[in-house]
Structure 1
Amino acid sequence: MKNIIAAVSIGVALLLPVGAASAFPENEFVCAVETMSEQTAVVMVQAHDEAGAVEVAGGGVATRLDGVKEQVKTVLQCIDFPQGRFQDPKLQAFVDAMPR
């Protein structure tokens, strides 16, 4: 009986990390957004794809270029992180300087 309990416990322990790993998407995106005060800001998100990133970013809090955190009003663009680049050099420089 002890052997059966031990075998089941080991099996469950081995399966838990698999389930936990699938709960969080591996893809990272950085999204350019407009805040409620109509300032440009960025938000980092994890999502399965770009459409998912837009959805997640739209309900979040972003960091404006002046460092203030503010609620997102509109998502402008999401790009793969860290491979993607924003065309706006000021916005890209802000993303490059963000702590990882």
Structure 2
Amino acid sequence: MRVWRMSGLPEPLWNHELRDENGEYIATSDGYFVPAGLAWEIDSYDFHFGKQQYAATVARNARYAAAGIAVLQTLPSRLRTEPKRVAAELVAAHRAAEARMRRVA
């Protein structure tokens, strides 16, 4: 949350379950910026490195893409070692997602 606060962005929905218009499960994002349609995922090696975990992460990202949701993936270690850079990436991803939403609307 410290990195999010550094970004100056509005607060996302934390650990929010996302569903499509038919009620089908998409994912539970670590942070979801509703107006921008941006999911922020903090993806660690521990939970995403094994064969099955990696397959689940790829499937999750495919569901995001199919639903038109942009995703920014961040390694947890970077939250500690590169907080300013991660905050800048979050801001850039948020701007790009907002611009995309305006083009689609």
Q: Which TM-score applies when normalising by structure 1? A: 0.25
Q: Kindly indicate which of the two structures has a greater share of residues assigned to helix.
A: 2
Q: Which TM-score applies when normalising by structure 2? A: 0.24
State which structure, 1 or 2, has the greater radius of gyration over its C-alpha atoms: 1
